[in-house]
Amino acid sequence: MKNLLDKKHKDLLTLKDYTKEEIENILKLAAEVKKDGKLYKDLLSGKSLAMLFDKHSTRTRLSFEVGISQLGGNSIYLDSKNLQINRGETLGDTAKVFSKYLDGVIIRTYSQKTVEVFAKESTIPVINGLTDLYHPCQILSDLFTIYELGLLKKDLKFTYVGDSNNVLNSLLIGFTMLGLNITVGCPEKCKPLKEVINYIKKQSEISGSNFKIVYDPLEAVADADIVYTDVWVSMGDKESAGKIKELKDFQINLKLLSYAKPDAKIMHCLPAHRGEEITSEAIDGSNSIVWVQAENRLHAQKALLVYLYSI
């Protein structure tokens, strides 16, 4: 195990912070902690980690609270509305105070700048539990789910359909860092941010991965091994009837899935808006691995904590 635990970074702000080898090591650790939930059960003994959340959460909060507890640590849930941040204390000052009391912090917020300031000003590990720009913990879980199925290989055809958001940004980074191919199916008005595309193009040249954007949903999912989607209106977005109209042809339903491989797996990071980006027949069908994907948030995040606190 020592070779999987060689130290490297103290924070996870985006998957760009980690190398291919580091991500692969976390996936291997996730497999080990899922197989034996008592592994590293005293790793966080005597340690307290805060969860500073500005956004609502189900899976992120539950998986981190349970994971920290299973590793022997103590978790403290904090709403920034009830802290002095809400009355004008700077993020930098708050990060310094957190460092005096805590052994780590998971932040779920709007601006990526918030986690960056915390990481700069604190002396404890800072984990991005979600920002409007990135969702690295979700993608570690997604990659682990695919790894567990034995599908994490070069010939995998993985297609994401729908809106371009923080989940897609992190999927693009994770896949291209691992040298995996990824297709994005979306309306032209909903394509990924230019800064993300520019990064992915450079990373693809290094890793040999193939990234493409397709504006025809049927072409996007043709012969896909995995079809993935997320909500069309994310937290912090202003719901737009026009945006939903643009995306309607990219709904994961039985008709769209008929263009993928017969055994194509269906993924969704949840929460799902049934009848909008995905139908109940799809998410509850025999090819859906959504619930395994949700469970794996626990195992992947435990692996991340093991990775960060093992040395």
CATH of the domain at 242: 3.40.50.1370
- Assess whether 87 carries a catalytic annotation: no
- Assess whether 297 carries a catalytic annotation: yes
Q: At 4, is the pLDDT very low, low, confident or very high (cuts 50, 70, 90)?
A: low
Among 275, 35, 16, 34, which Cα is nearest to 139's? 16
Do 129 and 56 share a structural domain?
Answer: yes
**30 in a domain, yes or no?**
yes
Do 123 and 29 share a structural domain?
Answer: yes
d(CA 243, CA 163) in angstroms, rounded, equals 9
Enumerate the β-bridge partners of residue 74.
48
Number of structural domains, the chain?
Answer: 2
Q: What is the mean pLDDT of residues 168-184?
A: 98
**119 in a domain, yes or no?**
yes
**145 in a domain, yes or no?**
no
Q: Which of 164-173, 188-197, 230-239, 275-284 has the lowest mean pLDDT?
A: 230-239
Q: What is the mean pLDDT of residues 108-126?
A: 96
| CA distances for 280 relative to 40, 207, 227, 243, angstroms | 38, 37, 15, 21
Do 238 and 257 share a structural domain?
Answer: yes
Do 112 and 196 share a structural domain?
Answer: no
Please pick, among 230, 268, 293, 301, the residue that the annotation labels catalytic.
230
**164 in a domain, yes or no?**
yes
**39 in a domain, yes or no?**
yes
- Assess whether 190 carries a catalytic annotation: no
Q: What is the mean pLDDT of residues 118-130?
A: 97
- Assess whether 135 carries a catalytic annotation: yes
Q: What is the mean pLDDT of residues 82-97?
A: 90
Do 174 and 102 share a structural domain?
Answer: no
pLDDT, residue 7, reads 41
Q: What is the percent of the chain with per-residue pLDDT over 90, rounded to a whole number?
A: 89
Sign of the dihedral defined by the CA atoms of residues 68, 69, 74, 75, in that order: positive
Q: What is the mean pLDDT of residues 132-144?
A: 98
d(CA 24, CA 20) in angstroms, rounded, equals 6
Please pick, among 54, 137, 138, 142, the residue that the annotation labels catalytic.
138
* Residue 235 reports pLDDT greater than 90: no
Please pick, among 163, 251, 269, 299, the residue that the annotation labels catalytic.
269
Distance of CA 236 to the CA centre of its chain: 17
* Residue 63 reports pLDDT greater than 60: yes
* Residue 124 reports pLDDT greater than 50: yes
Q: Residue 182 corresponds to which tokens in the numbers above?
A: 């990824």
Do 284 and 301 share a structural domain?
Answer: no
**142 in a domain, yes or no?**
no
d(CA 262, CA 172) in angstroms, rounded, equals 25
Do 233 and 214 share a structural domain?
Answer: yes
Sign of the dihedral defined by the CA atoms of residues 146, 149, 153, 159, in that order: negative
pLDDT, residue 311, reads 61
Tokens 């709007």, residue? 110
- Assess whether 230 carries a catalytic annotation: yes
pLDDT, residue 238, reads 64
Do 167 and 274 share a structural domain?
Answer: yes
Q: What is the mean pLDDT of residues 202-224?
A: 97
* Residue 283 reports pLDDT greater than 80: yes
Q: What is the mean pLDDT of residues 125-144?
A: 98
Q: Read out DSSP for the chain? A: -GGG-----S-BSSGGGS-HHHHHHHHHHHHHHHH-TTTTTTTTTT-EEEEEESS--SHHHHHHHHHHHHTT-EEEEEEGGGSGGGGT--HHHHHHHHHHH-SEEEEE-S-HHHHHHHHHH-SS-EEEEE-SS--HHHHHHHHHHHHHTT--STT--EEEES---HHHHHHHHHHHHTT--EEEE--GGGPPPHHHHHHHHHHHHHH---EEEES-HHHHHTT-SEEEE--SS-TTPPP-HHHHHHHGGG-B-HHHHTTS-TT-EEEE-S---BTTTB-HHHHTSTTB-HHHHHHHHHHHHHHHHHHHH--
List Cβ neighbours of 164 (8 Å cut-off, separation of 6 or more). 184, 186, 190, 191, 192, 193
pTM for the complete prediction?
0.95
Please pick, among 59, 268, 297, 299, the residue that the annotation labels catalytic.
297
* Residue 11 reports pLDDT greater than 60: yes
* Residue 195 reports pLDDT greater than 70: yes
Do 78 and 110 share a structural domain?
Answer: yes
**91 in a domain, yes or no?**
yes
pLDDT, residue 3, reads 54
Q: What is the percent of the chain with per-residue pLDDT over 70, rounded to a whole number?
A: 95
CA distance between the termini of the chain = 12
Do 43 and 100 share a structural domain?
Answer: yes
Please pick, among 135, 186, 203, 299, the residue that the annotation labels catalytic.
135
- Assess whether 61 carries a catalytic annotation: no
Please pick, among 59, 108, 268, 299, the residue that the annotation labels catalytic.
108
- 8 A C-beta contact, residue 189 and residue 152: no
Residue 21, phi then psi, degrees to nearest 5: -65, -40
Do 36 and 122 share a structural domain?
Answer: yes
* Residue 86 reports pLDDT greater than 80: no
pLDDT, residue 9, reads 54
Do 82 and 194 share a structural domain?
Answer: no
What is the domain extent for residue 221? 150-288
